Amino acid sequence: MTAEAETAARLARHASTEKQQHFESNFLKDVEKYETWDSVEIGRAFPGKLKFKVKQEDVLHYNVAMGETDPLMVDAKAAAEMSPTGELIQHPLFIVQVAFYCIENGPGSWIRSPGARNPGQKIELFEPFKVGEEIAMTVVAYDRWIRRGKHYITDKLDFHNETGVLKATWWLTLIIPPNREGILRFAKM
């Protein structure tokens, strides 16, 4: 078994939700399709490739993975009785799962770049996602810059439900290789 196959098998043991079971876990597979720092047109806006239908299992998995034990976050019955929303309360960074799902290998796919580094993130949350909502994400290429020889890039991600309510905004920034050649160099290691 190759190292990649061993990694995939090890990760698959933790995948329990429908989305996790169908999501490609090998980020080196589609690397030729990923956007690159030098090819992104700043200011362009695209819808995310996929929409995220919020399920209770999605929220629960994130909360449990973070080690939360508050009944309002991990016990659906307790949440139905006592949570302000009548649902499991989401961990505030649940938005990470939504973003990676919606981007997949479409617009904004540079977030999957091998060799990427995370310098910091800014997130605004306006109201929680609700179970049953279908979240559509807009990806706006917001900025890119070079500092100390590192290539930074930011997308502004807006998350709306099916009635157009803005749920959250994430200014997603990474340091990534400057071009396709740089990504492929990491991918082929």
Partner 1 sequence: MLKKIRFSEVQVGDELPPVEQYVTQDVIDKYAVTSLDYNPVHTNQDWCTRAQVFGMPCTVGHGMFTQSLMASVPIRAWGAGSATFRSMEAKFTKAVAVGTLLTCTGKVKELHPIGPGRNFVVLELQALDPAHTVMGIATASIGLPD
CA distance 24 to 14: 14
Residue 56 interacting with partner 1 (CB under 8 A): no
Q: How far is CA 61 from the centre of its chain?
A: 14
| Residue (116 or 161) nearer to partner 1, CB | 116
Judged by CB under 8 A, the residue of 43, 67, 149, 164 near partner 1 is 67
CA distance 41 to 18: 34
Q: Which of 36, 42, 40, 41 is nearest to 181 (CA)?
A: 36
B/e letters for 86-115, b = 16+ CB within 10 Å, e = fewer, are ebbbbbeebbebbbebbbbbbbbbbbbbbe
Residue 65 interacting with partner 1 (CB under 8 A): yes
| Residue (63 or 138) nearer to partner 1, CB | 63
CA Rg, the chain, in Å?
Answer: 18
For residues 140 and 156, the answer to whether their CB atoms sit within 8 Å is: yes
Judged by CB under 8 A, the residue of 54, 89, 140, 153 near partner 1 is 89
Judged by CB under 8 A, the residue of 9, 10, 150, 165 near partner 1 is 10
Q: How far is the CB of 43 from partner 1 (least distance, A)?
A: 23
Q: What character string, x for contact with partner 1 (CB under 8 A) and - otherwise, covers 125-164? A: x---------------------------------------
Binding site for partner 1 (CB under 8 A): 3-4, 7, 10-11, 14-15, 19-20, 23-28, 61-62, 65-68, 70-73, 82-84, 89, 91-93, 96-97, 100-101, 111-125, 186, 189
